Chain A
């Protein structure tokens, strides 16, 4: 954070460093906390039940030790780190766990999570893989099952009214996040990628109303910045999956670039799509989580006559971001063993090539040590763009 922007921004920084801080305080006041992983868990339902949805985060600074005694190392290192720190009781204020059918690394470890953490509540949400009519009907039924199951744990029925209210609050949160992104459009941007990543990460573990207030305060503070505190530099978009730490953003920005946009899970993939209001809330939630969130784990049927049209339909959202944020280059950043994303690297690259976008593809583990080793390649890439 910039030194001048004290108070609210240092509060954010504080929350980021001590990730469970607020949840722990709230738990002491009687608030029940439900942990979850991934952008595919409908947090609206958790909030509507009166729980605090708490997105589990890994820790790139913490070597994975305990987790490896219970889980094979051939899984996505982000998930392994989340599991490791959970096992080390970092999030022991949580009373429940919800995992979605996201990728093999998450799905195939549900039992291990469930038994190892031994929480009073756990649930798995089974998202289908396609967005056709029958899949949508199936998913609605599956969300109803979740609603009932969580309701039983909460000791109350989660009504349509509760859901509608929760949907509004979470939509509001997404609007505010989007407003934050607006500050990145100027050149140089008014807010750095590292700052945005910090704020968004923090937002995902606060009660939604609190997160909304926090975002408001942050927005107000940042809008006071008359002059960009950063230099003009290549404008980078990070494309990838579950990046929940600022270290990678920092590395890029320290190497002489501005991260101005992303298509990441703690970023536009999750914050851009909103739930439709009005209508049956479960239907609109199903639509948001299955169709609107553009994650490679959800299969999109090929559209159009040419392969290029198919690429447009699958990755067009990244193309729009590139235009909207005036991006100079893309860093495609993935974790080893990430199956859903790993299978589409060539396709993503082909799409970006068709836009004549310089792309750097990096495969990484999930630790500060390995992140640091990427520096030279990033610098070379930035030089290439700059020249």
Chain B
């Protein structure tokens, strides 16, 4: 790894909130903890975030190794290239998800050596006892990555949980199909529990699971309320920080620690709002991070936006929650059924709204809602080349938004002193790079594009005045 890159990595990103600043050490401790857990003989599972099994593995005291997280860490430390190259030398195409490639390269190396690869970031990724894949409606790597790893550790079994949800269709209501979706997911999650019981030799404690599902639901509500505080002007927290606070959201769901984190963040944001303390002193532009995972090696780009007076009060990325009380989950005491309903209702949350606006679509509807709720002046997205899951359809969403949502109407005084409705333009920017693969990134180009975008925002503001 080039020396400059190492120096670069040492430059810590500034956080707006204290809470976000605590995340780095927390993640480091968790990763160190998994390596230790392995030594202590605890059951370790490779796992993916957002697979509806968080509370289940927590209730069974299984230690999750979030493989996407570790790859992200390697990316953020600018030390992923050697693992990516290794995966490539094993014949994995460099066009595949770079979380997966980084993980595959790392795992193959660890298995070949019988120990952690040299200078493994934060002590390395522990070998699991089993792996939990998931077949959803997005993300082929969730379905294929662990099967590919099995080539290097064939003795580690896999359970692949089916977690589909219905896509948005004109002629089919979710209500028409949700019964068989729920039935399927419930069976799949029960199958997972049987698998885990077999693997660990322990029985599921169903009361504990219920408690944790409760806790998970309370956490969802708390996160939603906390994130909604960011509507304030000036906004007390931006997307840069949210790329840290996603850790307790998606890696610690179903733990008290995760819940407590958001209690603290909630309080901190309220205090900031009371003091009118924003991410930047002079908030000029409020932007929506409208899609795409971030470049983990270039999070300082968020600070760059800030330096121009631009803030991100809201993002669609890693906002993997909706308020539970709005999901209308049917009454049930069965924690598995609750998980299944939460899953389906989360993914179909925006469908009804979309149906009311001709030509709309759930993802677009969500953008519209955030534009209105958070008083947005422009949209920024990131197209990470290696992940089709989150990065296909972004251009189209923007096109569709322009088509169906006539830019925000504002009232202003016309020359004849009459109030008249006007359409305000909504500039957008799509950045292009990757989540982990730094070779796809140019700081100069990125910042030039940001500069040009800021100019457009300024111009638009003038026009709108």
- The answer to whether the Cβ of A272 comes within 8 Å of any Cβ in the partner chain is no
Return the contact of A361 from the options B91, B162, B361 (Cβ within 8 A).
Answer: B91
Q: Are A134 and B188 in contact (CB under 8 A)?
A: yes
Q: How far apart are the CA atoms of A145 and B143 in the complex, in Å?
A: 25
Q: Are B144 and A132 in contact (CB under 8 A)?
A: no
- The answer to whether the Cβ of B164 comes within 8 Å of any Cβ in the partner chain is yes
Q: How far apart are the CA atoms of A340 and B160 in the complex, in Å?
A: 15
Name A111-131 residues within 8 Å CB distance of B.
111-112, 115-116, 122-124, 126, 128-130
Q: Are B171 and A152 in contact (CB under 8 A)?
A: yes
Residues of chain A within 8 A (CB-CB) of B395 are 69-72
Name A84-134 residues within 8 Å CB distance of B.
101, 103-105, 107-112, 115-116, 122-124, 126, 128-130, 132, 134
- The answer to whether the Cβ of B389 comes within 8 Å of any Cβ in the partner chain is yes
Residues of chain B within 8 A (CB-CB) of A149 are 169, 171-172
Name A324-346 residues within 8 Å CB distance of B.
334, 336-340, 342-346
Return the contact of B144 from the options A130, A145, A307, A340 (Cβ within 8 A).
Answer: A340
Residues of chain B within 8 A (CB-CB) of A302 are 147, 150, 154, 157-158
Contact with B along A146-173 (1 / 0, CB 8 A): 0001001100000000000000000000
Residues of chain B within 8 A (CB-CB) of A129 are 135, 143, 160, 162
Q: Are A138 and B164 in contact (CB under 8 A)?
A: yes
Q: Are A126 and B167 in contact (CB under 8 A)?
A: yes
Tally of A interface residues using CB under 8 Å = 60
Residues of chain A within 8 A (CB-CB) of B176 are 145
- The answer to whether the Cβ of B413 comes within 8 Å of any Cβ in the partner chain is no
Q: How far apart are the CA atoms of A339 and B138 in the complex, in Å?
A: 11
Residues of chain A within 8 A (CB-CB) of B158 are 301-302
A137 to chain B: closest residue by CB: B184
A363 to chain B: closest residue by CB: B93
Q: Are A135 and B95 in contact (CB under 8 A)?
A: no
Which of A72, A75, A135 has the largest number of chain B CB atoms within 10 A?
A72
- The answer to whether the Cβ of A384 comes within 8 Å of any Cβ in the partner chain is no
Return the contact of A299 from the options B133, B172, B191 (Cβ within 8 A).
Answer: B133
Contact with B along A64-85 (1 / 0, CB 8 A): 0000011110110000000000
Q: How far apart are the CA atoms of A361 and B151 in the complex, in Å?
A: 18
- The answer to whether the Cβ of B97 comes within 8 Å of any Cβ in the partner chain is yes
Tally of B interface residues using CB under 8 Å = 61
Residues of chain A within 8 A (CB-CB) of B137 are 101, 107, 126
Residues of chain B within 8 A (CB-CB) of A116 are 396
Which of A103, A111, A297 has the largest number of chain B CB atoms within 10 A?
A111
- Write the nearest CB–CB distance from B242 to chain A, whole angstroms: 23
Q: How far apart are the CA atoms of A152 and B359 in the complex, in Å?
A: 21
Return the contact of A135 from the options B91, B162, B170, B391 (Cβ within 8 A).
Answer: B162
- Write the nearest CB–CB distance from B380 to chain A, whole angstroms: 16
- The answer to whether the Cβ of A296 comes within 8 Å of any Cβ in the partner chain is yes
Which of A105, A115, A338 has the largest number of chain B CB atoms within 10 A?
A115
Name B132-147 residues within 8 Å CB distance of A.
133, 135, 137-141, 143-145, 147
- The answer to whether the Cβ of B180 comes within 8 Å of any Cβ in the partner chain is yes
Contact with A along B374-400 (1 / 0, CB 8 A): 000000000111101101111110011
Return the contact of A130 from the options B100, B135, B145 (Cβ within 8 A).
Answer: B135
Q: A101-B137, A104-B140, A302-B157 are in contact. Are A346 and B148 (CB under 8 A)?
A: yes
Q: A71-B396, A301-B160, A336-B95 are in contact. Are A141 and B148 (CB under 8 A)?
A: no
Q: Are A74 and B148 in contact (CB under 8 A)?
A: no
Q: A104-B140, A104-B392 are in contact. Are A343 and B90 (CB under 8 A)?
A: no
Name B97-155 residues within 8 Å CB distance of A.
97, 100, 133, 135, 137-141, 143-145, 147-148, 150-151, 154
Q: How far apart are the CA atoms of A232 and B394 in the complex, in Å?
A: 51
Q: Are B95 and A342 in contact (CB under 8 A)?
A: yes
- Write the nearest CB–CB distance from B432 to chain A, whole angstroms: 9
Q: How far apart are the CA atoms of A302 and B160 in the complex, in Å?
A: 11
Residues of chain B within 8 A (CB-CB) of A374 are none
Q: How far apart are the CA atoms of A122 and B90 in the complex, in Å?
A: 40
Residues of chain A within 8 A (CB-CB) of B95 are 74, 336-337, 342, 363
- The answer to whether the Cβ of A292 comes within 8 Å of any Cβ in the partner chain is no
Which of B95, B154, B191, B388 has the largest number of chain A CB atoms within 10 A?
B388
Q: Are A346 and B151 in contact (CB under 8 A)?
A: yes
Residues of chain B within 8 A (CB-CB) of A134 are 162, 183-184, 187-188, 191
Q: Are B140 and A132 in contact (CB under 8 A)?
A: no
- Write the nearest CB–CB distance from A159 to chain B, whole angstroms: 20
B181 to chain A: closest residue by CB: A138
- The answer to whether the Cβ of B92 comes within 8 Å of any Cβ in the partner chain is yes
Q: Are A126 and B166 in contact (CB under 8 A)?
A: yes
Q: How far apart are the CA atoms of A345 and B383 in the complex, in Å?
A: 26
Q: Are B162 and A104 in contact (CB under 8 A)?
A: no
- The answer to whether the Cβ of A306 comes within 8 Å of any Cβ in the partner chain is yes
Return the contact of A103 from the options B140, B150, B184, B383 (Cβ within 8 A).
Answer: B140
Residues of chain A within 8 A (CB-CB) of B140 are 103-104, 297, 339-340, 343
Q: Are A339 and B97 in contact (CB under 8 A)?
A: yes
Q: How far apart are the CA atoms of A122 and B158 in the complex, in Å?
A: 35
Residues of chain B within 8 A (CB-CB) of A297 are 140, 143
Q: A115-B359, A141-B180 are in contact. Are A339 and B171 (CB under 8 A)?
A: no
- Write the nearest CB–CB distance from A95 to chain B, whole angstroms: 14
Q: How far apart are the CA atoms of A307 and B140 in the complex, in Å?
A: 22
Q: How far apart are the CA atoms of A111 and B396 in the complex, in Å?
A: 9
- The answer to whether the Cβ of B177 comes within 8 Å of any Cβ in the partner chain is yes
Q: Are A344 and B97 in contact (CB under 8 A)?
A: no
Q: How far apart are the CA atoms of A138 and B154 in the complex, in Å?
A: 30
Q: How far apart are the CA atoms of A234 and B359 in the complex, in Å?
A: 54
Q: Are A70 and B184 in contact (CB under 8 A)?
A: no
- The answer to whether the Cβ of B193 comes within 8 Å of any Cβ in the partner chain is no
- The answer to whether the Cβ of A142 comes within 8 Å of any Cβ in the partner chain is yes
Name A341-376 residues within 8 Å CB distance of B.
342-347, 349-350, 361, 363
- The answer to whether the Cβ of A187 comes within 8 Å of any Cβ in the partner chain is no
Residues of chain A within 8 A (CB-CB) of B385 are 74
Residues of chain A within 8 A (CB-CB) of B359 are 115
Q: A74-B391, A128-B162, A299-B133 are in contact. Are A343 and B100 (CB under 8 A)?
A: yes
Residues of chain B within 8 A (CB-CB) of A135 are 162, 184
- Write the nearest CB–CB distance from A118 to chain B, whole angstroms: 10
Return the contact of A345 from the options B91, B150, B162, B393 (Cβ within 8 A).
Answer: B91
**30 residue pairs bridging A and B, Cβ less than 8 Å apart:** A70-B399, A72-B391, A72-B395, A75-B392, A104-B138, A104-B389, A109-B393, A111-B363, A111-B393, A116-B396, A128-B135, A132-B162, A134-B191, A138-B180, A141-B180, A149-B169, A152-B171, A299-B160, A302-B150, A302-B158, A307-B150, A336-B95, A337-B96, A339-B140, A343-B145, A343-B147, A344-B148, A346-B90, A346-B91, A347-B151
Q: Tell me the A residues contacting B by CB distance below 8 Å.
A: 69-72, 74-75, 101, 103-105, 107-112, 115-116, 122-124, 126, 128-130, 132, 134-135, 137-138, 141-142, 145, 149, 152-153, 296-297, 299, 301-302, 306-307, 310, 334, 336-340, 342-347, 349-350, 361, 363
* Further contacts, 17 of them, CB under 8 A, given A74-B383, A134-B191: A72-B395, A104-B138, A105-B388, A126-B166, A135-B184, A138-B164, A138-B181, A138-B183, A336-B95, A338-B93, A339-B140, A340-B143, A342-B96, A343-B92, A344-B148, A347-B147, A363-B95
For the complex of A and B, the 8 pairs showing the least CB-CB separation, nearest first, are A129-B135, A339-B140, A343-B144, A104-B388, A307-B154, A141-B180, A134-B187, A138-B184
